[in-house]
Amino acid sequence: MSIDPARGITLRAAELNARLRSLEEQLAAIRNARSDATADDEHDPEGSTLSSEWSGVEGQRADVARELAGLGTALERVAAGTYGICASCGRPIPPARLELLPGATLCVPCASGR
C-alpha cells in the first residue's frame, strides 16, 4: 500500500480534536450567556435562542466525538492488520471511502444495510 493509514487517521484525529476544543469553548460561552440571561431576566426572549444555539453546537460536538471514537477503533484495526477490511463481509473497503471516512469499518453495501 502506498498510503500509510495510521498517518491519515492521526491527522484526521488531530483535526477533530481541534474542532472538539473549539465546540466546547462555544458551549461554555453559551452556558455563561444563558446563566447571565436567567439571572436578570423577566421574560426570556433570549433564552430560547440560546437553547437552539446550544443544541446545534452540542449536536456537532456529539458528531465529532463519535467520529473520534471511530478513529480510535480504526487505529486498533491498523495495529491488528485488519484496517480497510470490511468488518461484516471481509472484503476490502475502497480506498476512496477510507479517505473520506478514515474510521469506516464497513464497505459501502454493508454500511447501507444490504
110 is a site residue for Zn ion (CB under 5 A): yes
Options 19-27, 30-38, 73-81, 104-112: segment touching Zn ion (CB under 5 A) = 104-112
The C-alpha torsion from 15 through 21 and 27 to 31, rounded to 10°, is -170
Contacts of 5 (CB under 8 A, 6+ apart): 74, 78, 83, 84, 98, 102
Q: Among 89, 92, 94, 99, which residue interacts with Zn ion (rule: CB under 5 A)? A: 89
Which one, 68 or 87, has the nearer CB to Zn ion? Answer: 87
Among 21, 76, 88, 94, binds Zn ion (CB under 5 A): 88
Is 98 near Zn ion (CB under 5 A)? Answer: no
Q: What is the DSSP letter of 36?
A: H
* 86 lines the binding site for Zn ion (CB under 5 A): yes
Least gap, CB of 86 to Zn ion (angstroms)? 3
With beta carbons less than 8 A apart as the criterion, state whether 104 and 93 touch.
yes
Q: With CB under 5 A as the contact rule, which of the stretches 22-30, 35-43, 70-78, 85-93 interacts with Zn ion? A: 85-93
What's the gap between Cα 4 and its chain centre?
Answer: 21
Instruction: Name which of 83, 68, 78, 84 is nearest 15 in CA terms.
Output: 68
Binding site for Zn ion (CB under 5 A): 86, 88-89, 107, 110
